[in-house]
Structures are given as C-alpha cells and as structure tokens.
Amino acid sequence: MSIFEQLSNNKGTVSSALGKVLAKKVLDGQTSSLLECINLASYEPSALNQKHIRSGAAKVVEIVAENRPDLVAPYLEKLLPALSVKEPQTRWATIRTMGFCAHLNKPMAEKAIAYAEKYINEKEGLIIASSADLFLGDLGAISEKDAHKVFPVLKQSMENVFENEQDWLLEALYKVFPNLKKVEQKTVMKFAEHWQYSSRKSTQQRATRILRTR
C-alpha cells in the first residue's frame, strides 16, 4: 500500500501512530518514501477534505527531520507551501521541520521566519505558536547573525504570551541567548524573572536555567 493510500485511510488530522510507523521505515532505510511525504504535505492545499493526508505526511517528515535532518534539509523549498495550508497541524509540523534542518539549509529555513511571525501574532493556538517559537530558537542558535534576525519576532512573542506558551518560548530563548547582544539578553532576563515564580514547575525550571547564565 502506498503512502498516499495509508494516509487516505487514516482518520483524523493528527496520525501520531501511523506517522511514527512510516517515519521509522524511512529512518530504517526506506528513504524513497520521504519525498512522497514531502510532496503530500502540501497536497491539494485548498481542499479541506485532504487535510488528514497533508498533516499525516507533514508529521512523518517532522519525525524524520528531528532524527535525521540531513535527509530532509535538501527539500525544505518543497515544504514551504505547507506553511500556508489551512489546518494548523500541517503548519506546526512543517515549521518544526524547518527548525530541525535550519543548520543544514539556512537560506530556505530563513524563508519560514515570516510564517513564524504570522503564527505568533495570530495566536491561533498553543501548539502552532509554540512551534513557531521553537523554530526561531533553532534558527537563532546557529550564529549571532541569525539570532539578530529572529529576536525581534521572539520579542513580539514575549510581549503577547499565549496561555501556557511560556515554557516553549523560554526554551527558544535559552537556545538563542548566547548569541544575543547584551541589551537583548537583558530583555530575556527580565522575561525569565517574570516567570521564575510561576505555579508551573516546568516554567520555573526553564526560567531558572536562563537566570543561571548571569
């Protein structure tokens, strides 16, 4: 059965179990399936009844990218249309893929910054906003120049935090922190100080980790 057929038969937009199975096959050496998934991530982008195919394919690509970014990085340009589809599941998987592969294909990953800013400003939901934060953290961690590009967007996110987004935003800020200018680091420190006494232990830990860099 082809990848398309398997995704077509899957119910729902988030196919975690199937995605893991298909990604494992790619990681085990069946790399020919990867390109099909990359193409399917933006399959009939305006057709809402195909969103389970797009999101399922995007999830496979995300899992592969997290484990073997070298397999996905050459194809980031093909994934750019998936950042504009209607359903957030496809978009958040794709923006994470961009982050995982950023260090191997920075020119294409940089094209996703505008999408990340859009996701952050629209605050459509926790996962899409936090995925955008994490992407910016991955890209900004590469160099001082890259941190300079993404920090203005991260600052926008700090100024308008979606409920429970702070954990992932703090994670992203920790990644870029060493590459920031002193004045930018000061802004991050103030943000971490604000969250260090959060009722959420995970938030406290992430905030404290940043504060310990002083």
Q: Which residue has the tokens 């830990």?
A: 205
The half-sphere exposure of 172 on its side-chain side, counting CA atoms within 13 A, is 30
**Which CATH superfamily is 120-214 part of?**
Leucine-rich Repeat Variant (1.25.10.10)
Residues 134/96, Cβ–Cβ less than 8 Å:
yes
d(CA 182, CA 65): 32
d(CA 160, CA 147): 20
- Give residue limits of the domains in the chain: 1-111, 120-214
- Each of the 214 residues of the chain gets a pLDDT tens digit; together they read 788 888 888 765 445 788 899 999 999 998 989 999 999 999 998 888 999 999 999 999 999 999 999 999 999 999 999 999 999 999 999 999 999 999 999 999 999 999 999 999 998 899 999 999 999 999 999 999 999 999 999 999 999 998 899 999 999 999 999 999 999 999 999 999 999 999 999 999 999 999 999 8
